[in-house]
């Protein structure tokens, strides 16, 4: 299974993959199809974020989810404007930042809510 980060990295290195003979999704199906796939994955990511924000008690972790929603919107806008390797590198770094922020935002979860549910 391919992740958004890997697919973005493949878009970043599409010329090198072609030169090396690697058959990645962007090489096999093209840049436009890869962007459509990334858009679909980003939209699917919104579903659990919405559920966690509005149906579950997550303490102060809502800061992370709102930041993630904003960064995913920026990601999607920049994705469709991207044409060069540096653009895809910026997109890749946005995704890495979301992952890193998610790891550190675990500290924002209200532990008492989780302990009281058990």
Q: What is the tens place of the pLDDT at every residue in 20-32?
A: 999 999 999 999 9
* Average pLDDT rounded to a whole number, residues 28-54: 93
pLDDT of residue 89: 95
Q: What are the tens digits of pLDDT across the range 91-107?
A: 999 999 999 999 999 88
Nearest CA among 71, 60, 57, 59 for reference residue 99:
71
CB 62 within 8 A of CB 113: no
Question: Domain residues of the chain, as ranges?
Answer: 4-117
Q: What pTM did the predictor assign?
A: 0.87
Distances (CA, A) of 7 to 13, 33, 65, 105: 10, 11, 22, 25
Rounded CA-CA distance 14/30 in Å is: 9
Rounded CA-CA distance 35/29 in Å is: 10
């Amino acid at each position: 299974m391919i992740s958004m980060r890997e697919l973005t990295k493949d878009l970043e290195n599409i010329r090198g993959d072609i030169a090396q003979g690697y058959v990645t999704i962007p090489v096999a199906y093209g840049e436009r199809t890869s962007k459509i796939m990334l858009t679909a994955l980003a939209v699917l990511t919104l579903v659990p974020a919405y559920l966690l924000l509005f149906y579950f008690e997550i303490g102060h972790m809502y800061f992370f989810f709102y930041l993630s929603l904003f960064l995913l919107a920026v990601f999607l806008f920049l994705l469709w404007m991207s044409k060069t390797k540096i653009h895809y590198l910026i997109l890749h770094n946005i995704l890495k930042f979301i992952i890193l922020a998610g790891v550190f935002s675990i500290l924002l979860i209200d532990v008492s809510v989780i302990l009281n549910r058990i």
